[in-house]
Structure 1
Amino acid sequence: MKFHDIIEQVRTLLQRESRLSYRMLKREFALNDEDIEDLKAELIDAKRVAADEDGKVLVWVGAAPVSSSAFQVPSSPQSLTSSTQHPSGERRQLTVMFCDVVGSTALSTQLDPEELREVIRAYQKVCAAAIARFEGYLAKYLGDGLLAYFGYPLAHEDDAQRAVRAGLEIAGAFREMPPQKESLQPLQVRIGIHTGLVVVGEMGAGDTRESMAVVGETPNIAARLQEIAGPNTVVISATTQRLIEGQFESQPFGSPLLKGIDTPIAVYHVQSERQGTSPLAGRAILTPFVGREQEVGLLFDRWEQVKEGRGQVVLLGGEPGIGKSRLAYILREHVTSEGSLLYEARCSPYHQHSALYPLIEVMQRTLLLTRQDTNDEKVLKLERALALYNMQETLPLFTALLSLPTPPQYPPLNVTPQKQKERTLQALLQVMLAQAERQATVSVWEDLHWADPSSLEFLSLLIEQLPMTKLLLVLTFRPEFTPAWKPRSHISQLVLNRLGKKQVEVMIEKVAADKELSADVVEQIRVKTDGVPLFVEELTKSVVEAGRQVTGNEGQDGKTVAALGIPATLQEALLARLDRLSTARPVAQLGATLGREFSYELLHAVFSLSETEVQTALTKLVEAEILYQRGSGHQTRYFFKHALIQDTAYQSLLKSTRQQYHRQIAQVLQEQFPATTEAQPELLAHHYTEANLIEHAIPYWQQAGQKAVERSANVEAVAHLTRGLELLKALPGTPARAHQELTLQLALALPLTVTKGYGTPEVEAAATRALELCRQVGETPQLIPALFNAWWFYLFRSEFQTARELAERLISVAQRVDDSAALAVAHRLLAQVLYLWGEGVSARTHLEQALALYNPQQSRSLIARFGVDWGVNGFAILAHVLWVLGYPDQARTRKRVGLTVVQEIAHPLTTALFWGWDSHVHQVLREAQAVQQRAEALIALSNEQGFPQWSAYGILIRGWSLAMQGQAEDGLNQIHQGLSRSASAPPGLRGALLAEAYGKTGQLEEGLTAVAQELAAVNKNGARWWEAELYRLKGELTLQSKVQGPRSKVEEAEECFWKAIEIAQQQQAKSLELRAAMSLARLWQQQGKKTEAHQLLSAVYHWFTEGFDTKDLQEAKALLDTLL
């Protein structure tokens, strides 16, 4: 270790302890007298932070330690209040020993107080000597008990072992100690040891202030363990046992329920230290040995294939620290040495729901976009980059992605959010492939377990296009992530296992470089790291930085010379490295709070220290390889070498300090980085959430959700909005909270429906909760969308009574607030429920009222409020209703008017809904060719804009048209395809279309089954609008069926036809009555009942006053002529 590093460590330790003896410093840092004089010259004379006391003690006289107080949160009168300052402290793992005298009360009755005092002093002397020998810290005396820490103020690599050794030495000493008087029993002790998380630091006030007080259950557990120990024995917890396993002989001591501890704790009785045995003796079998040569070879081989034009994907999985990043780094070095192109994308746990975050970050770095750039300058850089690939027309997609304004010379994006997302992904894909076409390229994506859904979607698209490109895609992830991409000819998967003994030894040698480590030390590192490369690397560095040779062998006297700083676990190793960073440690902790990767600009804005101090600290962190650095000056970005290092630095902070840091970060982002908060409101929401400033966080989660909806990133939207709703639960139940929750629930409705599906419990919960909130807060403008969302849910659940009540309530509300646009929508919603219920006459009335209120000039407003122009959609539904009621010409007229308006509006989703109903109008008019044309247009539009359910309906209705035009098998297959894709077909219609197609293919029993299933659903949900047609089809299929039931087919078919006629008459559905009458008339004609048949059909036919050119009426006229 360099002398400069020793000075920094001594300074940090002295700053913390206030007083240090030179004897301790010599032992701790292996210093001689000359080193001590140099140390005094530096700290006393040069830096003036210490003073000498009698040539024996070094005393701190400098400034207070750099702690959380270095980060002062500026107060804001409107948003934030100044924070309460807390004493410095930290969270860390600590091994605590509690030792107490057995029978001290009885002893006090047998000894004179002065004699008792001498006994206690002798006891304390033995304990203190043992604790000091193993470099523990005697924290305090508690009567005849004492408390000792192992692992603080300085951590050792074997603190748990040191505590146990000290305990065994104390117990052994008292076993051999003679009694104080012949009449007394020998003095005995009990010792309890436990390892766990604590908060350690200053506590108290005035003269009672403690500089190293420990808070947490760890000391309590150690004390309770002491109580159950036998005389002169050491009892430890299972946690400590795991850390000393293989070093000591110990036996299970049960799992008692300790006083004051809620759950039982497994306990062990330590008998002795193992002598002359390997630490492996008490361990489980190690992971099988696996090297890295094969993995590196595979990567290099795939790279060679890529250079030949055969694109490759490598899926690289493994546990944290197993070497994924190291393997990717080797590939990067190899590729860049050849002058090839490399792109690196890193997924972030803070941005798991930020759509395309890794790609946005890559673009910003690649384009060199800086905060100093104006929006125009950023757009210019983007234009120049796209020009390289002749992709200037895609600039609006990229400006939207980067939250930049689109120049006026570019046409606006008049597409749905879903389509915009698809086009953006395609444009990103085009750029990536175009670059790879120019030059062989490697793209490394790290930490895919934190990837957002949209990024994973992009990767899926990229992987499909990869085989014929010069692109190598390397994806790393942890075991909790399951790749969606199965191994194929161009996809390879690697799962990294732990290193074997030989590989660990080679790695230790390389990390240690010119520092020679003994075979014992190498073996200790190998055993403790269990072959995990990160563990090996970090632990070896800790040994090297300790600056002294160590040995793992123990003498009979129990002494150890194990090196300082060799931790027992990775957490302790990283804490030891952070301990040695001095003033750089708070910078590492703040950086960890910012994220895995952070900019110098943001760090410096948050940190209250000078630029020089911040730069010095960052330089130390980079030199220590805690951080990596990219760029220079104010554009420098830093990222933690390993996520585990970031986690360790972050978790070492007190929770109160974490909240303070998050609070300041949020305020700085809001005040100084408006572009970042505008583009990534979820980032600000995260920091406010972690700062426990819930009321500040919730609006940003809402904003983040709305932005995600605009990008069709519905999964992310649900996550953001749900997080906001979860936070609301912590707020008191005020009217303001109810209003805020209502806003979130309403925003959640659309993305939740898209991601979970219509009629799911999640959608129901959101819809019903929004209504409940409206009841709580009273009449508000939000009641209208709340009622609409609930209506939509219950309609798709076929709960028509509830849907009807909601529509009627919506009419009442719209009338009360004089909202004509909402009233038009409400009438249209009620009409749809009534129509599906078979109340066509009432449905017609409400549709005509809706259209009377409808103003096409308000179309954009309707779309903004309800997602679609439900007014114009009423034309198509009214056309269908008019046909059913017997007015085919009026139906055509209404349809044509609506089609004209739809074309003028040119809104994709509105058009899709209109074309869906329009195709059904053609279907009931039996215009098969027109149905096919409209269906194909609907499919094309839906596929282009991303409307899967309407695309499925188009396929369904096209299948029917093909079946009617002689392509029965193809048509039937398409009907099944549409149904399997959850086509948006009204209940009743699906079974009817399927039954007709089955009839055309001669699959009569299948057709009857389809009708039976649909009629069962009708009886359950009450959707009787198509019931008459279902019974008519049942009769037709029954007549053709070869299966004979208990009754004759003729009788059963005749009953079905009569049932259809009765239902149609009840519903005044004249067109359906005409069809049923024709079917029954044909049957009677075959039975010779021409007169009855003519009388039946003539009565219905002559009711009509229009539509005589339609197929149904033409067939009816022809049939009547044959019955004369």
Structure 2
Amino acid sequence: MTEQISEFLSALDLSQHVPAFVENDVDMDLLPSLSDADLRELGVDKLGHRKRILAAAAALGSTEGPADGTSARAQRRLLTLMFADLVGSTALSTRLSLEGYRKTIRDFQDAVSEEVESYGGFVAKFLGDGVLAYFGYPQSHEDDAERAIQAGLALVKQIGELTVPDGAGRLEVRVGIETGLVVVGEIVGRGAAQEHSALGSTPNLAARLQTVAEPGSVVVGPACRRLSDGAADFETLGPHVFKGFNDPVPIWRVVRFSGSYDRLERRQGDLAPLIGREHEIGALEAALSRARLGALVTTHVIGEPGIGKSRLLREFITRQGEAFTLLIGQCSPHARTTAFHLFIDLLRRFRDTVVAEGGSLEDRLVEAGLDRDRHIPYLRRLVELKASIPGVDPDLIGSRTREALSEFIKIHGRLKPTVLYLNDLHWIDERSSNVLDGLVRDPHRRGVLIVAAFRPEFSAPWMDAPGVEELVLEPLSTSEAVQLFRDHLADQGTVADMMPFIERAGGNPLFLEEIARHFSHEPSEGPVPDSSGIPETLAGLLMQRVDRLSPEARQLVERASVIGREFDTRLLGDGGGRHMAELEQSGIVQALPEQPDHFKFQHALVQQVIYESLLSEDRRRLHDDVARRLEDLHAGQEVEVAEFLAQQSEAAGNAIATARYALMAGNKALDLFGLRDAQEWFQKCIDLTGPAGEVDDILLLARAVVNQTQILCWNGDFPAMTELAQSHLARVQTLGEIEEVSRLLTWIGEGYMHATRYADARQAFDRAQAIGEKLGDESSVGYAKGLRLWLDSIVGEGEAFDALPSRSTSVEALGRHLGDR
């Protein structure tokens, strides 16, 4: 065992960890099950070392799937890819010793791993002196493009600070980043060469971008630039021609990251009028009035991503004008472990305002009444990110900092009514949470309205404190949604055509805005949007909860996505309801109380983005499985769900079943006199079974054509009726003289009669009647006799005309006998 572990770790240049593995009895069989936490416990402190061990261990257990828990099944994803390349590595290899060069490459790889991981990315592959990383797989985020840019900038800084052995110079890195649709997740290669491949044009473009980046810079392509608009400052580098791309590609150098995580702060001048929310504005104004009078008031503004929390509060603040002092703090998804980050952000915003007015932070704080010795050093420490304060016991710094922050807030309330607006508290760090908990409960807080905005999954520790109230934002009504969509759509004439997409947004303002922008996209700005209606700006936001699911729940929700917005858990397979609690808790689905075993996706867009992440072959397989379970569930009663069976069979690529169930659905609609629906279903069956169709079932074709001609007759479209029947008659006749041949001849005869081709009509009716009589099919005989009677009443002469009364009585009697079929 010792020898195998030693060889394994030595091959990774990590032999220093062999004693810890041996001492803890970690053998080769246990390697694939090791987690990041296990490696930490073994003393593997460096992130890059842990990543290399986990990747190699995953290769050993490749039949079980990768060690990071990601699925080895390929998916369609909107992915941001980052290529990082160490500049001048070839020259370094000639100047450094072999060991020195190895250490330099390892340090570079460790630095990349650390920065990529810290921003939620995934190191997909080490390429010697280069690294490929994914943002958006295996875990999607609403801001993956921005995360990649931040990681790239941080990487440039960190690599520049690395020490090169033998004083061989300063290290630099080039970074290229682009976003696009790829197929990702399939594990390719064997052993140590295994990797999660990403296929498509985007990886190629990201690699090309890295080659044109200057040393120490980050270059992005058009999609990444568009998705991170407002989050970073860019310098255009103009269009470039890259090998393998037909058209020049515009590219940009990233100058700096703005640091703002509030969408509205990025596009402050691009705000449409607020739609709805007057009740919520009134509730906030009432809360401010109570705070002015000295009451303790904390208002939670709660809502799902995109529901309009920030927009509501921006409107509330704008309407109040200069009536109160505004203090704003913004949480960050990347700073949950940064102590006091929320209040660091708040203090820096306050400082920037003071400096813009020509003042200094310290003077303003003293003027407000804060103690120069007791409070200000601790606030200044946060703003300047200083680790300590000379002469102060480190154990006291934390408590003194909390005291200074609390006093900073309260003193503003004593001077003037104050709104403390804290955004995205679902990302709050622990120290800031403690400060806020104390503020909410502080009975001496007067004149301060605390407004805390967060998502439903966050549970505020101070919820039980006095004066805490909730303002839960609900989706917009249909009329409000249409108005908001109209405000953001360039072509007002297309609003009616967009109703399916408006409904799919579920009243979520962000979804509505982005869908409208998606369809207003100017061709000059990039690719024309596809027909899915899911903007690339929403893909990560919609998928991020799905990516947090357990593998079993993930498979379950993928299966549900092929069923539709609403689904029956009995169609999900054995134990289909076992993981529904996890899906409910994640906010992806909700139960339908009035229908046992039935659930509904919270948002149609979530269902759609999950479905579109599946590869075609996976979709077909799942659709086929759902169709088979549907047949089992409704055995003997398939007609009840014929439409759904036809849809599932078609999506599964089962043309025979599609044609069969389309005919069944058409007959069902025809019985209910739903002629338009029936016509569509019969046409689908005809398309599949006709000469150019995939299904060689002439009887299905015959029955669909007979019923379709009947509908055309009832609609008075006699030319189309005649043409349809004639075009398929010869093929149907290959089955012999069957009922359907008689019926087609009858409809052809009626078409001739309306075209005044009376002789042809008479001949067709006579042939139809003869076939019916031969078959003993009274219904076919009755149709032929009735229409022949009508013909003779128009053009009949002599005996034929004289016999009309008796023939009429005979046909009437046959009709009564058959129930007027």
TM-score if structure 1 supplies the norm length?
A: 0.41
Query: Is the Cα contact below 8 Å between 1:21 and 1:58 reproduced in 2?
Result: no
Q: Which residue identity lines up with residue 574 of structure 2 in the other structure?
A: S
- Change over 3 Å in CA distance of 1:128–1:65 after alignment to 2: closer
* 2:577 aligned with 1:608: no
Match of 1:770 in 2: 728
- Change over 3 Å in CA distance of 1:908–1:247 after alignment to 2: farther
Distance 1:790 1:222 in 2: 64
Aligned counterpart in structure 1 of residue 35 of structure 2, from 19, 22, 25: 19
Q: Give 1:506 deviation, angstroms.
A: 8.5
* 2:589 aligned with 1:627: yes
Q: Give 1:290 deviation, angstroms.
A: 1.9
* 2:710 aligned with 1:750: yes
Aligned counterpart in structure 1 of residue 220 of structure 2, from 213, 236, 249: 236
- Change over 3 Å in CA distance of 1:707–1:198 after alignment to 2: same
- Change over 3 Å in CA distance of 1:766–1:194 after alignment to 2: farther
Q: Give 1:767 deviation, angstroms.
A: 4.2
Aligned counterpart in structure 1 of residue 655 of structure 2, from 674, 677, 694: 694
Match of 2:147 in 1: 162
Q: Sequence identity, in percent?
A: 27
Distance 1:66 1:691 in 2: 29
Q: Which residue identity lines up with residue 554 of structure 2 in the other structure?
A: R
Aligned counterpart in structure 1 of residue 779 of structure 2, from 860, 876, 879: 860
**What SS class does the counterpart of residue 116 from structure 2 fall into?**
helix
Distance 1:25 1:642 in 2: 42
* 2:802 aligned with 1:893: yes
**What SS class does the counterpart of residue 626 from structure 2 fall into?**
helix
Distance 1:275 1:739 in 2: 68
Q: Give 1:168 deviation, angstroms.
A: 2.6
1:514-913 to structure 2, matched below 5 A, reads 514=460, 570-582=538-550, 583-600=552-569, 602-603=570-571, 606-609=572-575, 614-630=576-592, 635-727=596-688, 736=696, 741=701, 743-752=703-712, 754=714, 757-760=717-720, 766-767=724-725, 769-771=727-729, 773=731, 781=738, 785-786=743-744, 789=747, 792=750, 798=755, 822=768, 859-862=778-781, 869-882=783-796, 893-906=802-815
Distance 2:716 2:251 in 1: 48
Match of 1:363 in 2: none
**What SS class does the counterpart of residue 97 from structure 1 fall into?**
strand
Distance 2:35 2:177 in 1: 28
Q: Give 1:508 deviation, angstroms.
A: 4.7
Distance 1:66 1:169 in 2: 28
Unmatched segments (≥5 aa) in structure 1: 1-13, 27-52, 68-85, 298-319, 324-504, 539-566, 815-819, 826-852, 864-868, 912-944, 946-1124
Aligned counterpart in structure 2 of residue 214 of structure 1, from 167, 182, 198: 198
Match of 1:140 in 2: 125
**What SS class does the counterpart of residue 680 from structure 1 fall into?**
helix
Distance 1:732 1:882 in 2: 43
Distance 1:255 1:778 in 2: 65
Q: Which residue identity lines up with residue 770 of structure 1 in the other structure?
A: H
- Change over 3 Å in CA distance of 1:900–1:217 after alignment to 2: same
Distance 1:196 1:721 in 2: 40
- Change over 3 Å in CA distance of 1:900–1:686 after alignment to 2: same
Distance 2:775 2:702 in 1: 30
**What SS class does the counterpart of residue 95 from structure 1 fall into?**
strand
- Change over 3 Å in CA distance of 1:17–1:221 after alignment to 2: farther
**What SS class does the counterpart of residue 256 from structure 2 fall into?**
strand
Q: Give 1:140 deviation, angstroms.
A: 0.7
Unmatched segments (≥5 aa) in structure 2: 1-29, 43-52, 283-304, 309-450, 464-470, 476-480, 486-504, 512-534
- Change over 3 Å in CA distance of 1:906–1:25 after alignment to 2: farther
Distance 1:756 1:128 in 2: 72
Larger relative helix fraction = 1
Q: Which residue identity lines up with residue 597 of structure 1 in the other structure?
A: E
- Change over 3 Å in CA distance of 1:910–1:276 after alignment to 2: closer
- Change over 3 Å in CA distance of 1:758–1:295 after alignment to 2: farther
Match of 2:446 in 1: none
Number of residue pairs the alignment of both structures matches: 552
**What SS class does the counterpart of residue 759 from structure 1 fall into?**
helix
Distance 1:591 1:898 in 2: 60
Distance 2:456 2:676 in 1: 45
Match of 1:426 in 2: none
Distance 2:581 2:147 in 1: 35
Distance 1:191 1:790 in 2: 72
Q: Give 1:892 deviation, angstroms.
A: 6.6
- Change over 3 Å in CA distance of 1:872–1:772 after alignment to 2: closer
- Change over 3 Å in CA distance of 1:597–1:147 after alignment to 2: same
Q: Give 1:673 deviation, angstroms.
A: 2.3
Distance 2:786 2:748 in 1: 21
- Change over 3 Å in CA distance of 1:628–1:189 after alignment to 2: closer
Distance 2:795 2:756 in 1: 21
Distance 1:891 1:296 in 2: 84
1:1044-1055 to structure 2, matched below 5 A, reads none
Distance 1:792 1:18 in 2: 78
- Change over 3 Å in CA distance of 1:97–1:286 after alignment to 2: same
Query: Is the Cα contact below 8 Å between 1:599 and 1:636 reproduced in 2?
Result: yes
Query: Is the Cα contact below 8 Å between 1:764 and 1:793 reproduced in 2?
Result: yes
Query: Is the Cα contact below 8 Å between 1:160 and 1:240 reproduced in 2?
Result: yes
**What SS class does the counterpart of residue 579 from structure 2 fall into?**
helix
**What SS class does the counterpart of residue 140 from structure 1 fall into?**
strand
- Change over 3 Å in CA distance of 1:25–1:273 after alignment to 2: farther
**What SS class does the counterpart of residue 271 from structure 1 fall into?**
strand
Distance 2:235 2:256 in 1: 10
Query: Is the Cα contact below 8 Å between 1:746 and 1:770 reproduced in 2?
Result: no
Q: Once the two structures are superposed, what CA deviation does each residue of 1:949-986 show, in whole Å capped at 9, x if it has no partner?
A: xxxxxxxxxxxxxxxxxxxxxxxxxxxxxxxxxxxxxx
TM-score if structure 2 supplies the norm length?
A: 0.54
- Change over 3 Å in CA distance of 1:185–1:856 after alignment to 2: closer
Distance 2:658 2:193 in 1: 37
Q: Give 1:121 deviation, angstroms.
A: 4.7
Q: Which residue identity lines up with residue 21 of structure 1 in the other structure?
A: A
- Change over 3 Å in CA distance of 1:626–1:878 after alignment to 2: same
**What SS class does the counterpart of residue 674 from structure 1 fall into?**
coil
Distance 1:855 1:322 in 2: 70
Q: Which has the larger radius of gyration?
A: 1
Distance 2:753 2:192 in 1: 70
Distance 1:295 1:881 in 2: 77
Distance 1:111 1:212 in 2: 32
Query: Is the Cα contact below 8 Å between 1:856 and 1:872 reproduced in 2?
Result: no
Q: Give 1:712 deviation, angstroms.
A: 1.8
**What SS class does the counterpart of residue 275 from structure 2 fall into?**
coil
Distance 1:136 1:216 in 2: 19
Query: Is the Cα contact below 8 Å between 2:164 and 2:171 reproduced in 1?
Result: yes
* 2:177 aligned with 1:193: yes
**What SS class does the counterpart of residue 621 from structure 1 fall into?**
helix
- Change over 3 Å in CA distance of 1:769–1:876 after alignment to 2: closer
Query: Is the Cα contact below 8 Å between 1:677 and 1:683 reproduced in 2?
Result: no
Q: Once the two structures are superposed, what CA deviation does each residue of 1:523-565 show, in whole Å capped at 9, x if it has no partner?
A: xx99xx9998865899xxxxxxxxxxxxxxxxxxxxxxxxxxx
Of 720-729 and 584-593, more deviation after overlay is shown by: 720-729
